[in-house]
Amino acid sequence: MSLRRIGRLFSAYRVALAIVIAIIVASSIVAMASPFLLRAVIDNALPNQDLRLLVWLVAGMLAVAALTSAFGVVQTWISTKIGQQVIHRLRSDVFAHLQRQSIAFFIRTRTGEVQSRITNDIGGMQSVVTSTATSIASNLTTAVATAVAMTALSWRLSLVSLVVMPPAVYLTRRVAMTRRAITAQRQRELADLNVTIEEGLSISGIQLSKTMGTGPSLVARFTASSARLIDLELRSELAGRWVMASMSVIFAAIPAVIYLSAGLPMTAGTMTIGTLVAFTALQSGLFRPLMGLLNVGVSLTSSLALFARVFEYLDLPVDIDDPQSPVEVNPALVNGHVRFDDVTFAYPGGTTAAVAGVSLDVAAGTTLALVGETGSGKSTIAALLARLYDPSSGRVTIDGIDVRDMRMADLASVVGMVSQETYLLHTTVRENLRYAKPDATDEQIETAARAAQIHELIAALPDGYDTVVGSRGHRFSGGEKQRIAIARTLLRNPRVLILDEATSALDTETERAVQTAFDALAQGRTTITIAHRLSTVRDAAQIVVIDHGRVIESGTHASLVEDNGRYATLAA
């Protein structure tokens, strides 16, 4: 992975970065005045007892300190703001890109893994993004300015001070590569830990663990993963620590070497005490930016593992996306005439077609029922209409327009789906309904709830529509969640409605209430119903029997029973 791509993250902030670098350079130059002021104090003001000069020199030292501090505050504010904006943009881009991924991606990817990339990986990059660029500029500028000042004082002593740099850079490089490998392993372990949390502490996971008695094994799994993280964190922190500690000792020993060098016969008398003290102060100040540069190099190299994981998600191809030249569709003017023209589809990695040569014609405003055994391909046909998948061959059209030629947002406005597995957000009933139409008024929400036969129940709750539904809506029964989902779909007012086995898990009495709501929802819409209970589809204008992804029978309830074929067997 190229560092150039990481650099492009900051391309929109060139001006702000230029200001930061200018402030850093100015601060470093101003700071270099201190050792020269110190030399003047020792060599001139004190020996000559020049109080006026001493006052001016001390005031100059204070002014340098105040000015560099002010520069530091401004530089920190600008650089932190830039870093936070970069992280915000990166986090938002990853989330938006994942929203565009097809259902197939989320089927094969663990939810905890996705969450870990957005939270742990991007969170781990935050300190690097926020401080790396400015730290490099600050430390590099300070180091260069210090080296220049040291050379101006004594080029011979400067050579003694800088002789340790080549081995220091080499050893730091080795430490950085070690930490990079450990960081990649640590992030994978964090992702596994996140998966365990998501699977073990969700409401469904808790119910499963309690009924299966797997709580202790989950705790053991979590504990083992957490213990491995401890080891990886220790290895990451201690990687090369002895090397860095050794360099610290070497840097600390250099002043002693400088004093020794100053006392040798060949250098004796060539510099004043003030020059020696000022040079030693500069040399001590050189240690901090040099070690800062080396540590930044270590952090940047190890963080490449985080960038690689995030960029891997950003580089994922989008299988199902808006067309380059979409057909303009006004959802309010769509009639809802649905056609499947010789449609074939196979799931990624599948050896056989889930849908094979299916042709269907559903007139606008009529009802089509898809029946057949489990796994026959009914839900796949519905998913192709909603464009959760694209057919391998053939086409699916609404009012003659291929759904692949529509914008995804337009198609979502035209096609509504209510499935058996109703998903409610962990928020209020009102916000769950408004999720389908953010600008819906309270009056529209209540009207939709009345049509879905759920208003009275919601109104009877202690907080009414402001009642929190709980995780995945577990506060409500299956039938109640279905009716909330129906109300949510009513708010969108789609012209084409898909009911995917939406009542198969309900008892008879609840099914009747939900079916009443469905009847209200289906009025004036093209409706495609998938059902195991044939009693719910007897009145459909067209009933199609699906077997192994193929249409084997079609007709009305009466004609299919009279034909005494597969439908008659299912209806018996």
Element containing residue 59 per DSSP (H, E)? helix 51-99
- Model pLDDT, residue 201: 64
Render 307-321 in DSSP notation, one character per residue: HHHHHHHHT---SS-
Among candidate residues 174, 175, 194, the one with its CA nearest the CA of residue 186:
194
Among candidate residues 563, 562, 536, 495, the one with its CA nearest the CA of residue 371:
536
Residues in CB range of 70: below 8 A, 6 or more apart = none
Among candidate residues 320, 324, 376, 336, the one with its CA nearest the CA of residue 353:
376
Select the more confidently predicted residue: 10 or 130: 10
**Torsion sign across C-alpha atoms 502, 508, 511, 515:** positive
- Rounded to an integer, the average pLDDT of 343-362 is 89
Query: Mean pLDDT, the chain, as a whole number?
Result: 80
pLDDT digit string, tens, across residues 82-106 = 888 888 888 888 888 888 888 888 8
Taking CA atoms, 539 is separated from 297, 366, 486, in Å, by 72, 11, 20
- Rounded to an integer, the average pLDDT of 344-355 is 86
Which range scores top for mean pLDDT: 255-259, 274-278, 282-286, 381-385? 381-385
- Model pLDDT, residue 399: 94
- Model pLDDT, residue 335: 92
- Model pLDDT, residue 245: 66
Strands, sheet with 401-402, edge to edge from the N-terminal-most edge strand: 355-362, 338-345, 393-398, 401-402
- Model pLDDT, residue 331: 86
Give the chain's length: 572
Q: What is the dihedral of CA 271, 273, 276, 279, to 10 degrees?
A: -110
Residues in CB range of 555: below 8 A, 6 or more apart = 542, 543, 563
Helices vs. strands in the chain: H and E counts, helices first: 22, 10
- Rounded to an integer, the average pLDDT of 316-333 is 89
pLDDT digit string, tens, across residues 396-424 = 999 999 999 999 889 988 998 888 777 88
Of 450-454, 464-468, 535-539, give the lowest mean pLDDT range. Answer: 535-539
Structure tokens at 419: 């499935």
Please check the confidence at residue 1 and state whether its pLDDT lies above 60. no
DSSP letter at 11 equals G
Please check the confidence at residue 26 and state whether its pLDDT lies above 70. yes
Buried b (16+ CB within 10 A) or exposed e, 141-154: bbbebbbebbbebb
- Model pLDDT, residue 286: 67
Of 229-238, 302-311, 382-391, 519-528, give the lowest mean pLDDT range. Answer: 229-238
- Model pLDDT, residue 244: 62
CA 478 and chain centroid, separation: 31
- Rounded to an integer, the average pLDDT of 451-462 is 86
Task: Enumerate the H helices of 109-240 as residue ranges.
Answer: 111-116, 122-153, 155-162, 165-201, 203-212, 215-238
DSSP letter at 388 equals S
pLDDT digit string, tens, across residues 549-560 = 999 999 998 898
- Rounded to an integer, the average pLDDT of 160-173 is 64
Select the more confidently predicted residue: 399 or 331: 399
Which range scores top for mean pLDDT: 110-114, 135-139, 544-548? 544-548
Q: What CATH number does domain 331-571 carry, 2.30.40.10, 3.40.50.300, 3.40.30.10, 3.20.20.70?
A: 3.40.50.300
User: Residue 76: pLDDT band by 50, 70, 90 thresholds?
Assistant: confident
Q: Number of C-alpha atoms within 13 angstroms, CB side, residue 533? A: 14
Select the more confidently predicted residue: 395 or 165: 395
CB 432 within 8 A of CB 469: yes
- Rounded to an integer, the average pLDDT of 437-448 is 89
CA 96 and chain centroid, separation: 8
In whole angstroms, give the CA distance from residue 150 to residue 148: 5
Q: Number of C-alpha atoms within 13 angstroms, CB side, residue 258? A: 30
Structure tokens at 425: 């957000």
**Class at the top of the CATH hierarchy for domain 3-181+242-314:** mainly alpha
User: Residue 478: pLDDT band by 50, 70, 90 thresholds?
Assistant: confident
Structure tokens at 95: 């989330």
Please check the confidence at residue 246 and state whether its pLDDT lies above 80. no
Buried b (16+ CB within 10 A) or exposed e, 350-374: eeebbbbebebebebbbbbbbbbee
Identify any residues that bridge with 554 across adjacent strands, giving them in sequence order.
544
DSSP letter at 524 equals T
- The domain limits of the chain are 3-181+242-314, 331-571
pLDDT digit string, tens, across residues 113-139 = 788 788 778 877 777 776 666 677 677
